[in-house]
Chain A
Amino acid sequence: QGQLVESGGGVVQPGRSLRLSCAASEFTLSTYGIHWVRQAPGKGLEWVSVISYDGSNRYYADSVKGRFTISRDNSKHTVYLQMTSLRREDTAVYYCARVQRMTAYFEHWGRGTLVTVSS
């Protein structure tokens, strides 16, 4: 089944930047699309972004478009989420999840990393 491990979360001031990583182990990351999904404290799941297996297609939620950038380095078995111009409403646990095709179901999730945007 393999593992996805998110990292890079922490406390950051509004307006600053942060880069999250999603590292894959025990499976071949380069054959999977990867989504980022977030969950604000006490709230539901919100889709954030997706990147295709080869990086050729990327999509973003309206709430983060123009501020967040998804990328991947298959040689390092890692997908990134570069977050800029962070807002308090970006505070959430960020999960990465893999899909066999971009439009398919989220078959396996990481445990998440907490991002807190606060002054």
Chain B
Amino acid sequence: SSVLTQPPSLSVAPGKTARITCGGNNIGSRSVHWYHQKSGQAPVLVIFYDTDRPSGIPERFSGSKSGNTATLTISRVEAGDEADYYCQVWDKTSDHWVFGGGTKLTVL
């Protein structure tokens, strides 16, 4: 089944841009979804189908994909963006749903 690779951690200063990557075989042919999870809380969807943003998620959050890497970009990072971020795909060859290992975003 698919394996999704994320950097374990990323530190960004307030006001700067955070880019969280998600790599995996055949990710170019799969829809990638992104979730954030603040400490002690349930995950929340922030990007779906690679680039779409649910209502209520700020425009500062955007998604993109190139080759076998998907990227979640957070512009003008704020202290409230500090969370764990996970990418996710559906692996149709195995009918398994797969999460990346997660990236802990720290706002300096």
- Give the distance in Å from the alpha carbon of A111 to the alpha carbon of B40 in the complex: 9
Q: Mark A34-72, 1 if CB is under 8 A from B, else 0.
A: 010100000011110010000000010110000000000
- The answer to whether A107 and B54 touch across the interface, beta carbons within 8 angstroms, is yes
- The answer to whether A59 and B95 touch across the interface, beta carbons within 8 angstroms, is yes
For chain A, residues 72 to 119, give those with C-beta under 8 angstroms from any C-beta of chain B: 95, 97, 103-112
- The answer to whether A103 and B90 touch across the interface, beta carbons within 8 angstroms, is yes
- Give the distance in Å from the alpha carbon of A96 to the alpha carbon of B78 in the complex: 29
- The answer to whether A95 and B97 touch across the interface, beta carbons within 8 angstroms, is no
- Which of B49, B86, B97 sits near A50, CB closer than 8 Å? B97
A108 to B, closest residue via Cβ: B45
Chain B interface residues toward A at CB < 8 A: 31, 33, 35, 37, 41-45, 48-49, 54, 84, 86, 88, 90, 92, 95-102
A-B contact pairs, 23 of them (CB 8 A): A37-B43, A37-B99, A44-B84, A44-B86, A44-B99, A44-B100, A44-B102, A45-B86, A46-B99, A47-B96, A47-B97, A47-B99, A61-B96, A62-B96, A95-B42, A95-B43, A103-B92, A104-B48, A106-B35, A106-B45, A107-B54, A110-B42, A111-B42
